[in-house]
Amino acid sequence: MEFDKQIIINNAIQKSYDAIDAAQHNFENNFYTTCQNRLYYAIFYIVTALAYNDNFFTSKHSQLMSWFNKKYIYTDKIFNERMFKIYKEAYSNRQKSDYDFMYKVNTVDLLCSIKDVKEFVDEVKNYLKKAD
């Protein structure tokens, strides 16, 4: 099937920002676990855009995370290690908030996560725009 790679990349970027907006809205309305879910997906969508840009295709979350870490953190050193820490933490928090029914979200930590994820998404978007 033919597709316009740039349209898919732009749509993934937009989904990332939509997820951040949803996370912020959920935080403001005390839906903290949903906020964590949306924060993780903001990262997932922006890294998916990065993967499409590099012709790397996967629907597996762990495979995408490993690819990002190997290529962009360790091999090409495009982003610093803090970026992978943010990604990994967002994934872990989403797992806990979605599947651990005893898990309680710390709202102070969640506010820090919102800030970190916004920075992550902006940094990857800026990289993609320069690569375009």
**Is it true that domain 5-131 has CATH number 1.10.10.60?**
no
Domain boundaries, the chain: 5-131
The pTM of the whole model exceeds 0.85: yes
Q: CA-CA distance, 57 to 51, in Å (whole number)? A: 6
Pairwise pLDDT comparison (131 vs 113), residue with the higher score: 113
Kindly give the residue spans of alpha helices, DSSP state H, lying in 29-106. Answer: 32-53, 61-68, 81-99
Cβ contact 65:88 at 8 Å = yes
pLDDT in tens, 62-107: 999 999 999 999 999 999 999 999 999 999 999 999 999 999 999 9
Cβ contact 72:78 at 8 Å = yes
Q: What is the dihedral of CA 56, 61, 62, 63, to 10 degrees?
A: -20
Phi (first) and psi of residue 80, to 5 degrees:
-80, 165
